[in-house]
Amino acid sequence: MNYNTLLFRAFRLVRTVPVLWQLGILLAFVGGGTGSLPSLFNMVANTAGDLWPSSVLPGGDLPRLPLVVLGILMGAGLVVVGLTVQYVARVGLIDGSARAHREEPLTLTSTLKRGLSPDALRLLVLNVLLYAPVMLLGLFIMALFFLLLGVTLVSLEREWRLVSLMVGIITGATIFLFIGAMLLAGGLATVLNHWSIRFVILAGRGVLESLQAGWRLFRTHWQASLILWLVQMGVNFALQIALTALAIVLVLILGGITGIGQIVGIPGLLLVAGSAVVGLVAWTGWAVVQGIALAYVETLWSLGWLTIVEENIGGGSSL
């Protein structure tokens, strides 16, 4: 596999096929990216959830309780809509990247129609099967950590110095174990996710069959899996740096607006409105940047999958 060719091919496809980065931006807006961008749906849901405290605390405004129910229903509805759009867009993006590689005609409508298929639900089930064990592992290690921490505190209180020292060492080792195990499990789940969902979307296989095929592909092509994962991590790291820089600039701008507004005497409501506009513009710009990066990463994994599958077919073997 020529990795330089894959990297530049993925870049050229995203640059020359607008549908790919359009779907990537749509994914970013509904929280389907890998960075820390808050989605529009989550923001609205959180705003609706802010109605809860003042409505249910003793002495609160009880007549507003229907608004709480309405807010919860709206939040739940927005989460469902966001997940639906996310999986539809991802199916369309993965299928579209493969079609773009084959130089087939591609439109935003056709890719979204492709996303409105049972494959979107299969992706949801596949993600649950993959990431649920990772979450359970994390919960287990956290429970073990707090148990050891409790034993350490009891030992210190009763002056069991040797016991507290030994348990302290074990607790420290547990922290490193937690970090290492979560990194390993999360990285493996990410790689298996990328390979498996392409068997679902591009090969038309079922969820369990795709998971098995993804595992076989990982075992036989672990070097390619590692390199593509490192590229994805590099893109994510660059996005985090860009997000941090954007946040610093945004804080400076908003601070400047507030300071100038207080000096000049601009009404507070106008200052809030201006700050909201600046924040919305910055958030939209960041969604565009993250969406383009997301389209590139998904296209890169699709090209890698197609290359490996074609090599196996040419060699007379199958995954």
pLDDT tens string 271-317: 667 777 777 777 788 888 889 999 999 999 999 999 998 887 655 55
Report how many domains make up the chain. Answer: 1
Kindly indicate the confidence band of residue 50, based on its pLDDT and cuts at 50, 70 and 90.
Answer: very low
CA gap 243, 285 in Å, rounded: 11
pLDDT computed for residue 59 by the predictor: 46
- 66 lies in a domain? yes
**Concatenated DSSP letters for 205-263?**
--HHHHHHHHHHHHHHTHHHHHHHHHHHHHHHHHHHHHHHHHHHHHHHHHHHHHHHHHH
Mean pLDDT of 15-34: 85
- 31 lies in a domain? yes
pLDDT tens string 87-120: 999 999 999 999 999 989 889 999 999 999 899 9
Looking at the predicted structure, is the pLDDT value of residue 128 above 60? yes
CA gap 300, 3 in Å, rounded: 10
Looking at the predicted structure, is the pLDDT value of residue 241 above 90? no
**For a pLDDT cut of 70, what percent of the chain falls above it?**
77
Kindly indicate the confidence band of residue 58, based on its pLDDT and cuts at 50, 70 and 90.
Answer: very low
Looking at the predicted structure, is the pLDDT value of residue 19 above 90? yes
Q: Residue 120 corresponds to which amino acid?
A: A
**For a pLDDT cut of 90, what percent of the chain falls above it?**
33
- 192 lies in a domain? yes
- 84 lies in a domain? yes
Count CA atoms closer than 13 A to 293's CA, side-chain side: 24
Q: Is residue 29 within 8 Å of 296, Cβ to Cβ?
A: no
- 319 lies in a domain? no
* Neighbour count for residue 157 (Cβ, 10 Å): 9
What separation in angstroms does the CA of 66 have from each of 1, 45, 58, 59, 74? 59, 16, 16, 16, 12
Looking at the predicted structure, is the pLDDT value of residue 137 above 60? yes
Full residue range of the structural domain in which residue 197 is found: 3-314
In this structure, what token pair is assigned to residue 125?
């089930």
Count CA atoms closer than 13 A to 245's CA, side-chain side: 7
